[in-house]
Amino acid sequence: MRKFAIVGIGHVGATIAYTLVTKGIADELVLIDKNKEKATAEMLDLQDAQARLDSHTTIKAHDYAEIADADILFVTSGNIYALTKNSGDRWAEFKDTKQIVQDIAPKIKASGFHGVLIDVMNPCDCITYYLQQATGLPQNQVFGTGTFLDTARMQKVVGETFDVDPKNVTGYTLGEHGVSQFTAWSTVQVNGLAIESYQAEKQLNFDDMEEKARFGGWTVHSGKGYTNFAIATCAIKLSQAVLSDAKLACPCSSFNEKYGTYVGQPGVIGKNGVEYVTTLPLTDEEEEKFKASANFIRERFETLPKVK
């Protein structure tokens, strides 16, 4: 029995719910939102689709007690209007999302939830760490989407540059899910060959490609007022890696022992959440960028009220 729960049924939460139901990924699904009418409406809309689907999902709403035995809990709450007003600055949501954590974390804890929590809220790294602290769940069982999406955006940009499918581009975008992120070009390969080997031939502008990837989400947001499809896809892929114990090697926001914070870094995702973190042989310049990004997150985390 595959049971999922979602706290926050906005654009992203609703897209995750729709995908889980229509693809037959979830046997049970719990929808929770402070706007109970919205959660109820999404539940009813998905229930109306059941007669035309090849699978069945039991869908419930509102009750935190229902998440106690959930395998996966997605937290997707936020304030999209704050993001819009501040030109895509994910830290614009910080005031709202830290208050959301203070509201929902005690309810999650009281429910007895002991599965894997996947955070999609912004600013992702800092808030994921706060959620972990506030819920008391083990660090391996709480992680964020982090730079999983940013890496996909990098793959898209590089794929377009070389006219290859983005799946044939490998490598990592690391650090904050935000402005201080960076692409570790020493890790990037195209069709199995190091991208740096093409630099002279293709006259590659790494800074330009990195900028396109960094602000790709804002381009989408500017056009339709939010992003949902790509981030929902990332969240679901991570959850499926947990349920199938896939041991998926990918970047996400997890705890870094060296810098004492959650940050986008490569890890292996399996039945226990983050099974372990991989330390990449970065160049000195890349390591400095990673350190700076991690410290940036840590400094802001230190401004949060202490968990009681």
- Domains identified in the chain and CATH numbers: 3-144 (3.40.50.720), 148-301 (3.90.110.10)
13 is in an annotated binding site: yes
8 is in an annotated binding site: yes
| pLDDT at residue 171, as a whole number | 98
Radius of gyration of the CA atoms of the chain, in A: 19
221 is catalytic: no
Which residues of the chain fall below pLDDT 50? none
Do 7 and 104 touch, CB atoms closer than 8 A? Answer: yes
pTM over 0.85: yes
| pLDDT at residue 114, as a whole number | 98
Query: What string of H, E and C letters represents the secondary structure of 119-144?
Result: ECCCCHHHHHHHHHHHHCCCHHHEEE
DSSP string spanning 199-234?
HHHHT--HHHHHHHHHTHHHHHHHHHSS--HHHHHH
DSSP state at residue 282? -
121 is in an annotated binding site: yes
Give percent above pLDDT 90 in the chain. 86
Q: Where are the beta strands (DSSP E) in 109-210?
A: 116-119, 142-144, 169-174, 182-190, 193-194
β-sheet bridge partners, residue 190: 169, 193
| pLDDT at residue 79, as a whole number | 81
144 is in an annotated binding site: no
From the list 56, 62, 177, 221, the catalytic residue is 177
One-letter amino acid for residue 301 of the chain: F
From first CA to last CA, the distance across the chain in angstroms is 34
